[in-house]
Structure 1
Amino acid sequence: MTPRVATTTASTTTNLPEQLDVLLVGAGFAGIYQLYEFRKRGYSVKAIEAASELGGTWHWNRYPGARVDTTIPIYEFSIEEVWKDWTWKERFPGQGELEAYFKHVDEKLDISRDVVFNTRVLSAKFNARTDRWAVTLDDGRTVHTRFLSLCTGFASKPYTPAFKGFDTFQGVKHHTSRWPKEGVEVKGKRVAVIGTGATGVQVIQEIGPVVGNLSVFQRTPNLAVPMFNRPVEAKEQQQLKDEGLYPIYYKRRTQTYIGLDYTWTPKPLVDLTPEARRILFEELWVQGGFRIWLGNHEDVGTDPVRNDELYAFWRTKALARIKDKKMQEKLAPAVKPHPFGHKRISCEHSYFEIFNQSNVELVDMSETDIAEFTPKGIRTTDGVEREFDVIVLATGFDSVTGGITQIDIEGPKGTVRDKWAQGLRTYLGVSTADFPNMFWVYGPHGPTAFCNGPYCAVSTLPSPRSAFLAFILTY
């Protein structure tokens, strides 16, 4: 069967009535699932999507090395007609696999016929007389909807610092979340990567082996952990399905704090002997991913002594992979930069080895910051100008609220930007006062940044995450 996917001209091919029960903004995991559920229940519903196809963050984040940090089959829909004949290739799928997955979802659920692609929502104004939202699109159309559901995700608005001279650089520069679909040639080039968060780590380890020279601008060391990714055979996945384990995995997601198939152990780590603790750490480490952090004993995140012990274990592992003594201190300092796990940890496979290459430089921004962009590259505050062919901006996002506040949303008492300007206030992380019938998931005050995205974005269990859906379905 040929997937029913959108083309680049899809913004004019989807019928969009002037009156709707529900208008969704965004067609990633949350938007797709809501459209699927509302449509089944007979509601008139459409989704507006700025991209040319489904996928949300997995459409926009095409940078080298983009990859999921959650294992299969946890990072996917639990809809049987989707998972029963879908097969992953890797334990931690990359962006290309996610793109193919969303095409499969579209084929099975026929989502695209109710999505307006290549279109952005400019504004939404509540009409108290009609109790409806008037939503204006960038193609000039206006839609009046009873319910407005914002499925914009927590990392949909890229953030680029206001670098002096930014537009003067004459080489190639791209933010990772706006990476060209055709890619960027970096082989043999002089490349800078600004930022060492999750995105920066993935880019650095991917392009490091092929660039001519690489300068990494680091603000804070990333306490990254290995994912130990591997290919996964189709027969291995089919066996789990045949044995009825997939529904069990999905059920397990609902029983853990973070929506994964494992969670913290409440028993204090101090109850174990030092030898038993070391064995535990080693066992969790070789399982890869977040296990060493989120599958550990709970007090590693609350007891400073236990947290120091875990950091010391992590540091020993990192130092063994870094040859240069000075580089060791930059990447895995003796004094931890923050409590282990209190800043979201990233997953990697060869990140630390990249810094053993003679053509790789680490620019410690705690010692010398970026002063300005120049036509040829970047000048730092110590007066050094480095010349580059390509600059990669792994500078993150206006996260959590940015996807919402970039839309001009006006309720009966003012705009959402003004309301949140002095501090964020929400009801259970799904709505905010004075904006009737407007809801969101996977956004402000939700579990969001510390949760498995697909589960938290689509959960319909009796919880704050699904309160808005339960409310609409019974209204």
Structure 2
Amino acid sequence: MSDVQEFDAIIVGAGFAGVHQLIQFRKLGLKVRLLEAGGGLGGVWYWNNYPGARVDSENPIYQFSDPELYKDWNYSVKFPDWREIRQYFEYVDKKLDLSKDVSYNSRVVSAIWDESADRWTLTTEAGTVYRTQWFSLCVGIGSKYYIPPFKGIETFKGEIHHTSRWPKDYDVKGKRVGVVGTGSTGVQLIQDIAPLVDHLTVFQRTPNLSLPMRQEKLDLEEQKKLKDYLYPIQFGRRLQTFSGYLHDLDMKPTLETTLEERTLAYEDKWQKGGFHFWIGSYGDIFFNQEANDVAYAFWRDKTRARINDPEMKEKLAPMKSPHPFGVKRPSLEQSYFEVYNQPNVDLIDVNKNSIVEITPDGVRTSDGVEHKLDALMFATGFDMVTGGVTAIDIRGQDGIPIKEKWVDGVRSYLGLGSATYPNMFWIYGPQSPAAFSNGPSTIEFTSEWIADVIKHCRENNLSHVVAAKEAQDAWSEQLQQIASMGLWTGAKHSWYMGSNIEGKKVELLQFPGGVPVYYKAIMDSAAKGYEGWVFKKATTA
């Protein structure tokens, strides 16, 4: 084990949140180190390089809002892929010389609080030990990947990969490929590899109610013109919309519109593409089942028109919705539904023909059929929202691991920190808006809030700050109350609710009240002297 390395602040994770936090901590003059499990910046965009991987937030808002960064950067398309986002992080790194404060290939396995010293001790997988006063978790919501424990998986003679660990330069051409899972990752992968493989077998549990992306190339000269006058307005607008995107929910009740008005509005959102039909349309789809049914019917009819086979229509866009529309994050697709018109593509509904076992030669389903495969790809997602936090053995003032505490439900205050874990914060994590929002929109103001509370402590000779239990219980209860007003529980297998992981507590894991409400809550706490937080005065030598 190496000697202990001392820092004012340690950040874990080098995606948008970790990079922004590093920039903020530098401004405070802190001695800071960012620990990253991977070999480069980018977070999910470092790990996810499977065919088709691309962001579903449209530009210009999927980047940092600092003019010094965006003035010299231009994306080529509205929805960039993983390669271009990696290039963006490389650009930011070079511009700000970030890597000098980053330790790559440094997976943190434990974080232990020392109450007598008001310090955290962090240990990496390699045995490197760090001590720090401030500890910021920027592990995101999708860092712990998940493969279901299928019988016989170890016997498969072909290649098995989870999409988040896609092999470099792996070629699927001419192979018989199986894909398990049709979430956002599955949709992106399937539509990209279907034209290349010899045969594709997709194992679907729940149809993905995907929306048309409407990808566009971006004009370089037009971007340059917009940066001076429009970009600042657009970045400012993010705090005013429900989801931190540039479009917002229409709060007029769906059923108070005429058929003609509603249809034209739906058609407009549909043609605009992206998430306009989801979080740019009528807001009552999230809590009014009848309004939700109307939206689903429009989606269904649009989608079925793209599918040739009647049986396939029912599998992919059933007449009756498999769950309320929009209570699971839709994927954005470009050619997904047309894939199933190809003769070399099979779609297995595992609700009717479940996966019994993985065999040496493929996958056997409950109807007795063995689907012969050369490669098996798991697009089975992640232990979302909480998994990246609970994967680390984090022990606070009472010595109890946070993983044990959250067995019966997540507890946080303002989606920023948790009682008995002083000086530890997280960004874009449990009980924050997280994936209910555009990532950078909420990441930036949350990161700035954390920097401000640290500055407050340093200026007032305070050695630690921790969420009060009463405040955290009230926040967690409020979140679940808001959730109970909506249709979220209508999705049987939803990572929003944690129900995609066997044995995980079923509860809404993210704040569903919208970005403006969340922003007001954390800023009100700060304005009232950080109401709901408990401070400890530093002892003088």
Tell me which interval the TM-score lies in, with the shorter structure as reference length: over 0.9
Following the alignment from structure 1 to structure 2, what is the Cα–Cα distance between the partners of residues 25 and 168? 36
The one of 100, 103, 127 equivalent to 1:140 is 127
The one of 45, 56, 66 equivalent to 1:79 is 66
Gaps in structure 1 of 5+ consecutive residues:
1-11
Alignment deviations for residues 100-138 of structure 1 (CA, whole Å, 9 cap, x no partner): 110011111111110000111111111111110011122
> Does the 8 Å contact 1:122/1:408 carry over to 2?
yes
Equivalent in the alignment of 2:15: 28
Following the alignment from structure 1 to structure 2, what is the Cα–Cα distance between the partners of residues 177 and 131? 37
Equivalent in the alignment of 1:448: 434
> Does the 8 Å contact 1:81/1:108 carry over to 2?
no
Which has the higher mean CA deviation after the structures are superposed, 449-458 or 244-253? 449-458
Equivalent in the alignment of 1:6: none
Alignment deviations for residues 166-225 of structure 1 (CA, whole Å, 9 cap, x no partner): 111111111011112x23211111000100000000000000111110000000000001
Offset, 1:453: 1.1
> Does the 8 Å contact 1:377/1:388 carry over to 2?
yes
Task: Find out whether 1:474 has 2:456 as its counterpart.
Answer: yes
Give matches, 1:221-232, under 5 Å: 221-232=207-218
Which has the higher mean CA deviation after the structures are superposed, 311-320 or 269-278? 269-278
The one of 29, 47, 60 equivalent to 2:34 is 47
Offset, 1:268: 2.0
Task: Find out whether 1:282 has 2:267 as its counterpart.
Answer: yes
SS of equivalent residue, structure 1 residue 228: coil
Offset, 1:380: 1.2
Give matches, 1:198-277, under 5 Å: 198-242=184-228, 244-277=229-262
Equivalent in the alignment of 1:5: none
Give matches, 1:159-198, under 5 Å: 159-180=146-167, 182-198=168-184
Give the letter for the 1:320 counterpart.
A
Task: Find out whether 1:156 has 2:143 as its counterpart.
Answer: yes
Task: Find out whether 1:393 has 2:378 as its counterpart.
Answer: yes
Following the alignment from structure 2 to structure 1, what is the Cα–Cα distance between the partners of residues 112 and 261? 59
Percent pairwise identity:
50
Following the alignment from structure 2 to structure 1, what is the Cα–Cα distance between the partners of residues 285 and 129? 52
Alignment deviations for residues 30-64 of structure 1 (CA, whole Å, 9 cap, x no partner): 00000001101101111000111100000000000
Alignment deviations for residues 63-110 of structure 1 (CA, whole Å, 9 cap, x no partner): 000011011111110011110010111111011110111001111111
Give the letter for the 1:446 counterpart.
S
The one of 296, 319, 331 equivalent to 2:316 is 331
> Does the 8 Å contact 1:430/1:467 carry over to 2?
no
SS of equivalent residue, structure 1 residue 19: strand
Give the letter for the 2:332 counterpart.
C
Which has the higher mean CA deviation after the structures are superposed, 156-165 or 134-143? 134-143
Offset, 1:412: 2.4
Following the alignment from structure 1 to structure 2, what is the Cα–Cα distance between the partners of residues 79 and 159? 35
SS of equivalent residue, structure 2 residue 240: coil
Following the alignment from structure 1 to structure 2, what is the Cα–Cα distance between the partners of residues 37 and 267? 40
Offset, 1:304: 1.8
The one of 348, 359, 370 equivalent to 2:355 is 370
Following the alignment from structure 1 to structure 2, what is the Cα–Cα distance between the partners of residues 410 and 152? 17
Following the alignment from structure 1 to structure 2, what is the Cα–Cα distance between the partners of residues 139 and 333? 50
Following the alignment from structure 1 to structure 2, what is the Cα–Cα distance between the partners of residues 232 and 247? 18
Give the letter for the 1:459 counterpart.
F
Following the alignment from structure 1 to structure 2, what is the Cα–Cα distance between the partners of residues 252 and 395? 34
Offset, 1:17: 7.4
How many residues get paired?
Answer: 455
Offset, 1:303: 2.1
Following the alignment from structure 2 to structure 1, what is the Cα–Cα distance between the partners of residues 5 and 37? 19
Equivalent in the alignment of 1:428: 414
Offset, 1:269: 2.6
Give the letter for the 1:435 counterpart.
Y
Following the alignment from structure 2 to structure 1, what is the Cα–Cα distance between the partners of residues 396 and 257? 55
Equivalent in the alignment of 2:389: 404
Give matches, 1:85-100, under 5 Å: 85-100=72-87
Offset, 1:374: 1.1
Following the alignment from structure 2 to structure 1, what is the Cα–Cα distance between the partners of residues 285 and 404? 39
> Does the 8 Å contact 2:211/2:331 carry over to 1?
yes
Equivalent in the alignment of 1:131: 118
The one of 315, 319, 329 equivalent to 1:344 is 329
The one of 373, 380, 394 equivalent to 2:365 is 380
Alignment deviations for residues 278-333 of structure 1 (CA, whole Å, 9 cap, x no partner): 11111111100100111112123322222111111111110110000000000000
SS of equivalent residue, structure 1 residue 459: helix
Offset, 1:235: 1.0
Offset, 1:165: 1.1
> Does the 8 Å contact 2:24/2:448 carry over to 1?
no
SS of equivalent residue, structure 2 residue 112: strand
Following the alignment from structure 1 to structure 2, what is the Cα–Cα distance between the partners of residues 411 and 183? 43
Offset, 1:468: 3.4
Following the alignment from structure 1 to structure 2, what is the Cα–Cα distance between the partners of residues 397 and 289? 23
Gaps in structure 2 of 5+ consecutive residues:
458-541
Following the alignment from structure 1 to structure 2, what is the Cα–Cα distance between the partners of residues 198 and 255? 27
Equivalent in the alignment of 1:299: 284
The one of 100, 108, 120 equivalent to 1:121 is 108
SS of equivalent residue, structure 2 residue 20: helix
> Does the 8 Å contact 2:25/2:451 carry over to 1?
no
Equivalent in the alignment of 2:51: 64
Following the alignment from structure 1 to structure 2, what is the Cα–Cα distance between the partners of residues 163 and 277? 45
Following the alignment from structure 2 to structure 1, what is the Cα–Cα distance between the partners of residues 127 and 389? 20
Offset, 1:428: 1.1
SS of equivalent residue, structure 2 residue 121: strand
Offset, 1:469: 3.4
Equivalent in the alignment of 1:9: none
Give the letter for the 2:140 counterpart.
G
TM-score (normalised: structure 1): 0.94
Give the letter for the 2:309 counterpart.
D
Offset, 1:400: 0.8
SS of equivalent residue, structure 1 residue 425: coil
Give the letter for the 1:96 counterpart.
R
Which has the higher mean CA deviation after the structures are superposed, 233-242 or 186-195? 233-242
RMSD: 1.4
Following the alignment from structure 1 to structure 2, what is the Cα–Cα distance between the partners of residues 402 and 469? 25
Following the alignment from structure 1 to structure 2, what is the Cα–Cα distance between the partners of residues 142 and 203? 39
